[in-house]
Amino acid sequence: MLAPARIVLQQASLTNAALGHENLGPLSEAHGFISARPPIVDLPPPFDAWTEAAAALPELCDTLRLRRALDALPRLEPSPERLPDRYLMRAASVIGLLVQAYYNIETIPPAREPAALVDAWRTLAWRLDRPRWTMSTNDFVFHNWRLVDPGDPDPMRVENLRLLTSV
């Protein structure tokens, strides 16, 4: 007889393998709550505008040009027809971090919400079956890393991990 925890681990692994993504949450014996595969880095066009903005976050925050830059982003609709499921976790991570930075980097609260980002975030939340305006631990930790040396014989060590998107 299998322990209940073992059954949950097996079901999670089988479900994620069948779906071809970990949008329901990563869970495995080997990696815990960290994705078994490195998270997707880039989003396909035109959604790559989001990852480009995320890559620029440290500079935009340092120079306090963040809101201007994010207000200039195009309005993009991450519908199922335009953004495949396998990109949802990266998109949610990027949008969540961009919106959090928009609200929290400058000391004066914004006069309005960044409509292009918030509308996209609502759609992503709907597609991931989350409450709207939710940035989860999956978004800023478990799906926000990259391997420094993918060829390392034991790559999943803290020393070999870096943040994908840093604020």
Average pLDDT of 16-35? 83
Whether 57 and 108 share a structural domain: yes
Residue 142 identity: F
Whether 28 and 109 share a structural domain: no
Residues 167 and 164: their CA atoms lie apart, in Å, by 10
Identify the band that residue 61 occupies on the pLDDT scale cut at 50, 70 and 90. very high
Q: Are 138 and 25 in contact (CB under 8 A)?
A: yes
Identify the band that residue 24 occupies on the pLDDT scale cut at 50, 70 and 90. confident
Whether 30 and 80 share a structural domain: no
Whether 87 and 22 share a structural domain: no
Residues 51 and 87: their CA atoms lie apart, in Å, by 12
Average pLDDT of 112-129? 92
Of 79, 83, 122, 77, residue with least CA distance to 99: 122
Whether 70 and 122 share a structural domain: yes
Of 23, 6, 9, 7, residue with least CA distance to 130: 23
Whether 66 and 114 share a structural domain: yes
Q: Are 133 and 121 in contact (CB under 8 A)?
A: yes
Long-range CB contact pairs, 124-129, < 8 A, 24+: 124/78, 124/88, 124/91, 124/92, 124/95, 125/92, 127/78, 127/80, 127/85, 127/88, 128/23, 128/88, 128/89, 128/92
Tell me what pLDDT residue 138 has: 79
Whether 33 and 45 share a structural domain: no
Tell me what pLDDT residue 27 has: 84
> Across 38-42, 43-47, 115-119, 151-155, which has the greatest mean pLDDT?
43-47
The total domain count for the chain is 2
Whether 62 and 24 share a structural domain: no
pLDDT for residue 132 is more than 80: no
Identify the band that residue 20 occupies on the pLDDT scale cut at 50, 70 and 90. confident
pLDDT for residue 36 is more than 80: no
Whether 26 and 79 share a structural domain: no
Whether 62 and 108 share a structural domain: yes
Whether 2 and 43 share a structural domain: no
Identify the band that residue 127 occupies on the pLDDT scale cut at 50, 70 and 90. very high
Domain of 89?
39-163
pLDDT for residue 70 is more than 90: yes
Identify the band that residue 84 occupies on the pLDDT scale cut at 50, 70 and 90. very high
Whether 33 and 44 share a structural domain: no
Q: What is the pTM of this model?
A: 0.86
Residue 101 identity: A
